[in-house]
Chain A
C-alpha cells in the first residue's frame, strides 16, 4: 500500500513527462481520433465532440499543459501521501524490481528517512504544479518547446523520487544520473543565450565529477562487501582509514550537488538561468536529495562514525553558511541571491549534521538525535520557504521583466498578494521567532549548547564558536532579506517596468506559493507535528529518539528537558496578538487622531526622486567595508569633468564587480592544471602514421607479454 503510493508517484511523474511529448503531435492525435471514430461509430458520439473540442488548435496546448501539470501535481500528492504514511506507520518496506542487470535486480527500500524526503518532494512538487501552468504560459510565444520542459521536469522529479527509493548502489547511481542529466536540460532550456549554455555546462561538469566521487565512495564500500546492495554494504566493517576516505569522497560528491562551499559555484550560475519553477525544485528539493544521500551514506551505510568527520562537516558547514550569506548580500540579481542563500542554508544544515555526528561518535545518541532533528527540520523548512521565494521571484520576473533588485521598488502597492507571500518567506528565512525558520535554528542552538557533555577540550571550545557564527549568519540573513524586501517591494519604483507592474490575475498561480506560505504558518505554530515525524526517522537511523517529545504534548517544544529549554510558539503567538491588539485598541480609540497623509520630509529642497533612495549596493556598503576580505571587489568611479578648470562634475559612473574567491583560488588552478596535463599528453600525438603504427606494435608486444 505504502509502496504503491511511492510507485504511483514515480509513475505519475514519468507519465507527465511523456504526456508533454504530445505537445507537438496534435495532428497525429487528430488522425488517431478520426480513425477511432470511424472504427467505433456508435459509442463515440459524446467522446467525439469532447475530443474534437479539446484538439482545436487554440485550446489544445492549454489543455495539454493543464494535464501535464495535473499529473505532476498528482505525483506530488502521492509522494506526500507515501512519505506521510511510512512515517506515521513507522515501518520499513522493501521490494525488488526485476530491471537492471541480470544478477542485480533493483532493490527498493522505503523507510522513515526516504519517507521524510518524499514528503518534502511531494509538497514542493504539488506547489510547483499549481504554479506551473500560469508560469509556462509566458513561454508560449517564444520558440522554446513546452514538450522539452515538460518531459525533463517529469524525468527530473521521477529521478529524485527513485534516488530516495534506491537500495543498491547501482540503482542509486542510475537514478542519480537521471536526476542530474534531466536537470541539465532544464538549466539549458533557454539555450540561445551563451551564458545559459555555459552555466548548464558548468552544472553538468560538476554534477558528473560529483557522481564520480560518489561512485568511488560506493566502490570502496563494495570492494569489502559481497555485492552492491545496501544491505551488503551495511554489514561491512571498514578500517578507519578506508572509512574516512569513503566519507571524504561522499562529502565531495554529495556536497557538490548540495552546494557546500567551495564546490558550490554551479548554484549561482545555474539557478538564475533556469525557469523559476525549476529553480524552485532544484534549490528547494534537489539539494535536499543530495543531503539525503549524505545522511544515508554516513549514518546508514558507513555505520561507525568518527568525530573528526563531524568536525569536518561543522567547519565546511560554517564556511558555507557564512560565505553563502555574505555573497548573497552583495548580489543584485534576485535569483542569484537566492542561490547563494541556499548555500547558506545548506551550510546551516551541514553544521547541525556535524554536531549530530560528533555527539554520535562520542557516545551521546540522544544529542545526536537532537542534531539530526535540527538538520532535517531545517531541510524541511528550507524546502518550504526557498520554494516560496523562487516562485515569488518567478511571478515578479513575469510582471516586471526584471530580476535586478535595483530596478524594482514599490511593488507592495501594486502586487499586494505576492508581497505578503514574499514577506512570509523573508521572515521565515531570516529566522524570526514565530516563523518556522526560527524553530530549526533554535534546535541547532540547543544542540550546540549541550557541548559540556563532551570530554574533548578542542571540541568544547570549537562548538560554541561555531554556534556564534551561526548567530552571525542568522543576523546577516536578516539584514540580507531586509534588503531584498525593502528594495523590491518598498520605497518608490526605480524603473518603468516596476512602475507598471500589476498583480497576477491567475488565482491558481498564486495558490502554489500560498500553499507553501500556509504550511510555513502552520508549522511555525505547531512545530511539534513535524518534529514527531522526524523523531521516527531518528529512531530508525540512530536507534534513539528524544524522550520528552510527547511528555509535554504538541504545544511545547522541549528537546532535552523542560529544565533546560522549552519553547511554546502558540502561547507566544497568543501573547503577541494580545499585546498588539491592546496597543492598537488603546491608541485608536480617539477619533480626533485619524491619520493624515502628507509629503515626506525632503529637507526643504523638494522633489524626492526614486534615485535618491538607498540602492542595493548602498545598503550593503557598511558590511562590504567591514568584511572586505571576503570578496574580490572591483569598484570603479568614473567622473566626467568639464568646465573652466575642469572641476565641474557633469556625470558620475559607478561600477561594482563582486567576484567569488573560489574561482581564482580553486577552479582556475585546476583548469590550468588540466590544460597543462593535456599539453603533456598531446606530445605523443605526433600526427605521423608511422609513429602510431609503432605505438600499436609496442602495445601488441606488451599485451602478448602480459598474456604469456
Chain B
C-alpha cells in the first residue's frame, strides 16, 4: 500500500509540475498587466516538442543524446524522495535528503557536460556559470537543510516532516532563518529572476538557456520538464518542511485528498510569491550572485547557530 502511494505521489509530481510553471507564468502576466497564456500551455508545449523531430548538432557525441534522459530520471528520482501528499513513505527510506541534493548535482553534472559537448561558446558559457552558481548554492542549501535535520535528528525527509507535524506550531528562530535561506537558494537553483531569467535568450545573461541552446524536440521537452519538476520540488520542500500541516499521516482516502488539496493551496501561494518577487526585482549582474548566495549561506549559518544556542535540548 505504502509503495503504491509512493508511486502515485511521484506520478503526481511529474504530472503537476508543468501546471505549477503555468500558474507562475499566469500570475506573472497578470501582475504585469499582460494577457496570460492558458494554465495548460506548458503541457501543450511539451506535447508539441515530443512530436517534433529532434535536430542534433553534427559533432554531438552519445553523451549529448543520452543526457536528457539522465537529467529527467535523476530529477524524477529526487521527486520520489520528497513527501508530497503523505509522509511515512518507503521511498524516503531508500534515499535521504543528502541523496536528494546529490541527484540535483547528478542532473546538473550531465547538463553541464552536454553544454560543453557541441563546442560552441554558448554551451561553455552556460556550463561554467551554472557550475559556479550551483557550487555556491549547494553549501547554503545543505546549511538550511542541516538545521531541519538536526532539529528532527534524522536526514530522512519523511520522518523529519513527521517530526515537525508532531511538534505542532512552535516558533523556532532557526526555522525562520532556514526558510529564508532555502528560498534564496531555490530561486538560484531553479534559475529564476534575479539570478537567471528563464524567459531570456539574450546571450550575455543566459545561464540555463545557454546550456540547452542546441537541444530540440523530445530532448528539449525532457529538459524543460525536468526544470519544471525541479521548481516544483523546491516549492514542495519549502512548503512541506516549514508549513507541513495538512499532509496526510495515514493512508486513507480523505486524508490523502486533504493532503493533495493542502499542497495545491500551498504551492499556489508560493507561486504567487515567486511571481510577485520576479515582478518587483530586476535581474542581477552575474558577479553579484556570489553576494546573494553568500547571504543565503549566512542565513543558513545563523539558523544553525540559533538552533545550537537557543533550541538544542541541553
Contact = CB atoms under 8 A, between A and B. Distances in A.
Q: Do A and B bind each other?
A: yes
Given A474-B138, A485-B113, A565-B155, A572 B99 contact: yes
A169 interface: no
Most B CB contacts (10 A, CB to CB) among A457, A485, A564, A592 go to A564
Contacts of A621: 128
Contacts, number: 264
B178 interface: no
A97 B123 CA distance: 63
Contacts of A483: 128, 131
Given A475-B105, A565-B155, A625 B57 contact: no
Nearest to B122: A601
B58 A594 contact: no
Contact of A579 (B72, B108, B143, B314): B72
A601 B214 CA distance: 7
Contact of B77 (A460, A556, A579): A579
B14 to A, nearest CB: 9
B61 A413 contact: yes
B297 interface: yes
Interface string A115-153: 000000000000000000000000000000000000000
Contacts of A567: 94-96, 99
A6 B308 CA distance: 49
Contacts of A431: 102, 105
A432 B105 contact: yes
B113 A486 contact: yes
Interface stretch (B62-70, B191-199, B233-241, B252-260): B62-70
B116 A486 contact: yes
Contacts of B146: 449, 464, 467-468
A614 interface: yes
B142 A457 contact: no
A442 B99 contact: yes
A668 interface: no
A614 B121 contact: yes
A234 B305 CA distance: 40
Contacts of A626: 132, 136, 287, 290
A597 B55 CA distance: 6
B276 interface: no
A368 B138 CA distance: 27
A532 B52 CA distance: 51
Interface string A550-593: 00000010000011111110011001100110011001101011
Interface string A463-496: 0110111011011101100110111001110000
A613 interface: yes
Contact of A464 (B69, B121, B143, B153): B143
B139 A468 contact: yes
Contacts of B153: 452, 564
A572 B135 contact: no
B218 A587 contact: yes
A17 interface: no
B176 interface: no
B149 interface: yes
B204 to A, nearest CB: 13
A623 B93 contact: no
A599 B56 CA distance: 8
Contact of B117 (A491, A580, A610): A491
Given A472-B138, A476-B135, A461 B94 contact: no
A590 B149 CA distance: 45
Contacts of B232: none
Contacts of A583: 69, 72-73, 222
A198 B201 CA distance: 51
A445 B290 CA distance: 24
Nearest to B213: A601
Contacts of B93: 562, 566, 568
Contacts of A593: 50-54, 217-218
A491 B128 CA distance: 14
B180 interface: no
Interface string A430-448: 1111100010001001100
Contact of B142 (A468, A600, A612): A468
A61 interface: no
A595 B54 contact: yes
Nearest to B149: A449
A600 B95 contact: no
B124 interface: yes
Interface in B205-245: 213-214, 217-218, 221-222
Given A566-B94, A587-B218, A472 B105 contact: no
A93 interface: no
Interface string A9-25: 00000000000000000
14 contacts: A430-B109, A431-B105, A449-B150, A449-B155, A461-B309, A464-B150, A467-B142, A479-B131, A486-B124, A563-B154, A590-B50, A595-B55, A601-B122, A613-B121
Which A-B residue pairs are the 8 nearest by beta carbons?
A: A614-B124, A486-B116, A491-B119, A475-B135, A433-B102, A479-B131, A600-B57, A475-B138
Interface of A: 409-410, 412-413, 427, 430-434, 438, 442, 445-446, 449, 451-452, 455, 457, 460-461, 464-465, 467-469, 471-472, 474-476, 478-479, 482-483, 485-487, 490-492, 556, 562-568, 571-572, 575-576, 579-580, 583-584, 587-588, 590, 592-602, 608, 610, 612-614, 618-623, 625-626
